[in-house]
Structure 1
Amino acid sequence: MPESPGVSVEVLTTPGCHLCAEALRVTGEVCAEFGITYQEINIEHDDALRAQFAEEIPVLRINGKVRDFWKIDPVRLRRLLAEAGPKG
């Protein structure tokens, strides 16, 4: 699949979170299919992010918009990344 430049993928996490580990695994696999790198953001030391997302971790953001939380569905993530990529 072609690379999707300009697509920003972030996974907000906290240490020791088993759901976060699974979300990172799924996100890594799916992003690799699209040639996209993702960024893990630990909210532990960010008061604003912790206040906003503490009850929803892990959180998936694509291009700055929250697209999923708790469990990342690989089928949904593929669709979201395809939609976020350049329009033909």
Structure 2
Amino acid sequence: MADMSSLFRRKAPQGRTVTLIRKPGCHLCDDAQSVVERVCGEVGVPWESKDISRDQQLHEQYWEQIPVVLVDGRQHTFWRVDEQRLRKALTE
């Protein structure tokens, strides 16, 4: 019987991308990154991190919400990342 991570990996659509918008010294950002790394690793979806302190547009748009997670460029969540919700968004 296959384990759950291999089932998720097979279902993951190609071409998906997760973006974590964060800032240095943010403990919620560190927590969010742990979830993003784990889920993306399990389902085989690439992810990237962007620092709002280095991008004025991102700072203006998201400074009250960080950490923010985008899935395929669209806002998925902010502040706290729900592991199951992110996994579902990436595998359905």
Q: Normalization by structure 1: what TM-score?
A: 0.89
Distance of 1:8 and 1:35 partners within structure 2: 10
Superposition misfits of 4+ residues, deviation over 4 angstroms: none
Counterpart residue number, 1:25? 34
CA deviation profile, 1:14-54 (whole Å, cap 9, x unmatched): 00000000000001000111111210111102111101100
Query: Among residues 59, 69, 78, which one is paired with 2:68 in the alignment?
Result: 59
Partner of 2:23: 14
Instruction: Flag structure 1 segments of 5+ consecutive residues without an equivalent.
Output: 84-88
Aligned-residue RMSD, C-alpha: 1.0
1:70 aligned partner = 79
* Contact kept in structure 2, 1:4 and 1:34, CA below 8 Å: no
Residue identity matched to 2:84: V
Give the secondary structure class of the aligned counterpart of 1:44: helix
CA distance in structure 1 between the aligned counterparts of 2:64 and 2:39, rounded to whole angstroms: 25
The structure richer in helix per residue is 2
Q: TM-score, normalization: structure 2?
A: 0.85
The structure with more radius of gyration: 2
Q: Which residue of 1 aligns with 2:55?
A: 46
Q: What is the percent sequence identity of the aligned residues?
A: 37
